[in-house]
Structure 1
């Protein structure tokens, strides 16, 4: 007669990965759509799915994917919007595991969500207003707000056009991030006596098929006598910022000067709103140019921030600069232990290195702050092994004797390498 040894776990870890498979599907597939024949692709018998109590370990993506154990198929559980799921991150993929029991087996599955052209470019502003002196010289430039397109790759924003072009032409420059900087350049001098108000249309077009576009109107009021635009002391400002910096922290002060006198030389500052959420994190004093932190930044969400700052004089001319913040990581995340499967009892004559539990451990921090070590409470009966990146298994490490110990309490502790840990 075989006796069972009871096992109790407080936090646990992984068995070897037996296989993996990848699929690629477009976003917005309807509920119930076919992803792949997972049983066939992994070489599993349908009976094994049932006897092994096959289940998906999907984590945060559990609402989107389901397993049909009767047919061995992966299906869409809920429609997936790539932009909501991954924002601008590419490639966009859902990673999960298939777990089987008796014996424990573990398979990795990756489902890449590809983009479709379901978003047109949009402008955050309803219109753009400029007041420009009739004495503005040919070649004067005016910074325009960029459009936003939530699609990526070929479906993302590709080009701009300006109409009419009687006085202004469009100038596009690629910045360091691969985005198009948009400027309106004065080609033909303005004459207030001839025309005091101008209306232009800026159109942004994406690269999808068919093309989608968005437009915004530019209203220009022609003013008298202002022939110098504000100029910043630097075209690009750079600074480092700890991710645990407090709201209200003063980060830097930017300065632009205008050679005009009187009201035409008075400069005001503003941050452009072309980057999603940037105005929720930073603000600038319109008079002094002091930049302050007003929101909570998180290194794990974004490692860099770029602010496009505009200086405008009272005559309507503008100058611009960039502020680049590099976010410094602090150890603000603990290792997370995700228990995937456990065995509650085991025969005392089990073979050496029998797997009794599998788990996944991850730490959202980066570099040494995100590195960790895991160990068991003092025990010679069991050992913990790192079977692959972030995945662990607990195995027997000696003979089991129910008469000596009918129960075992196993505690797993994971500590990161940050200071303090």
Structure 2
């Protein structure tokens, strides 16, 4: 079975027990275990102090019953420590076990205690996650550069800083200059230059959230499709596209079509609807103008 002996380290310190008796550095051992370590594997063949390993000694190893933890088991004959349940850094990142060594070579048997301090090393086993798969956002044209459009908030369930630290980026699906910027750390989407609905009606973006695991190959990400609709404001005036000249014979019948006046407005909806009115020159009411056509 694989071993983590290379991860073992011993604290050079003295730890006081509740009863006041100090624990020497020989009685206190420290281990670091990866979060993805599999149950039934040997964590470490505990390097017990030499006075425990004298030949022909009958030793019995056990974990103190008051340690209410089911993640670890110890071989009562060899002192090998096993993982019996999967670890989850986000649930518990540190364990302190009390191992009791009973020496039956003496009469009566003698007990000694070793404390095991076990730290769980976080693995990047969670991916960033957006709450939605697709969002539609509306923003008015001609808003100032730097206007807040939306704030993205992806979550990552990892416990350590870099494994859960998220960096945002965006790509524009349709070709052209991207009119938006995103803050890599805070996910704030802002306008990069003035928007003109008459030139761009909508923009399709892909927003990505990637964690910052130390190893690039371990990094995880999630993506979100975003449609930004440019909302129209009444920023254009109607313009006439028909001729400004018309000819009519005298004595034509009342109701005769004199001229078709056509004006256009590039704005959208009600902002682009045109109505017609005679402002001057028709004092004797010789002409009638349909305000719609």
Match of 2:282 in 1: none
Q: Does 1:21 align with 2:29?
A: yes
CA contact (8 A) 1:124 1:147 kept: yes
CA contact (8 A) 2:67 2:98 kept: no
CA contact (8 A) 1:202 1:218 kept: yes
Match of 1:205 in 2: 210
Name the CA shift for 1:80/1:142 in 2 (closer, same or farther; >3 Å).
same
Flag structure 2 segments of 5+ consecutive residues without an equivalent: 1-17, 103-108, 235-293
CA contact (8 A) 1:57 1:96 kept: no
What is the rounded CA distance, in whole Å, between the counterparts of 1:74 and 1:42 in structure 2?
A: 18
Deviation at 1:117, TM superposition (A): 2.1
What is the rounded CA distance, in whole Å, between the counterparts of 2:42 and 2:192 in structure 1?
A: 56
Q: 2:116 aligns with which of 109, 112, 115?
A: 109
What is the rounded CA distance, in whole Å, between the counterparts of 2:201 and 2:51 in structure 1?
A: 75
What is the rounded CA distance, in whole Å, between the counterparts of 2:87 and 2:113 in structure 1?
A: 25
Describe how 1:254-269 pairs up with structure 2 within 5 A. none
Name the CA shift for 1:143/1:57 in 2 (closer, same or farther; >3 Å).
farther
Deviation at 1:103, TM superposition (A): 4.0
What is the rounded CA distance, in whole Å, between the counterparts of 1:155 and 1:27 in structure 2?
A: 13
Name the CA shift for 1:162/1:212 in 2 (closer, same or farther; >3 Å).
same
What is the rounded CA distance, in whole Å, between the counterparts of 2:112 and 2:183 in structure 1?
A: 59
CA contact (8 A) 2:139 2:149 kept: no
What is the rounded CA distance, in whole Å, between the counterparts of 2:51 and 2:165 in structure 1?
A: 42
Q: 1:182 aligns with which of 164, 176, 187?
A: 187
The higher-RCO structure (CA 8 Å, 6+ apart) is 1
Name the CA shift for 1:106/1:40 in 2 (closer, same or farther; >3 Å).
closer
When normalised by structure 2's length, the TM-score is 0.59
What is the rounded CA distance, in whole Å, between the counterparts of 2:75 and 2:201 in structure 1?
A: 68
Name the CA shift for 1:105/1:225 in 2 (closer, same or farther; >3 Å).
farther
Higher-Rg structure is: 2
Name the CA shift for 1:98/1:29 in 2 (closer, same or farther; >3 Å).
same
Deviation at 1:104, TM superposition (A): 4.5
Q: 1:35 aligns with which of 29, 43, 56?
A: 43
Deviation at 1:14, TM superposition (A): 4.3
When normalised by structure 1's length, the TM-score is 0.42
Q: Does 1:196 align with 2:201?
A: yes
What is the rounded CA distance, in whole Å, between the counterparts of 1:150 and 1:143 in structure 2?
A: 23
Deviation at 1:28, TM superposition (A): 1.6
TM-align CA RMSD: 2.8
Match of 2:5 in 1: none
Match of 1:118 in 2: 125
CA contact (8 A) 2:166 2:210 kept: yes
What is the rounded CA distance, in whole Å, between the counterparts of 1:80 and 1:166 in structure 2?
A: 44
Measured against aligned partners, the alpha-carbon deviations of 1:325-348 in whole angstroms (never above 9, x if no partner) come to xxxxxxxxxxxxxxxxxxxxxxxx
Q: Aligned residues, how many?
A: 198
CA contact (8 A) 1:201 1:217 kept: yes
CA contact (8 A) 1:134 1:189 kept: yes
Structure showing the higher strand proportion among its residues: 1
Describe how 1:402-417 pairs up with structure 2 within 5 A. none
What is the rounded CA distance, in whole Å, between the counterparts of 1:143 and 1:42 in structure 2?
A: 65
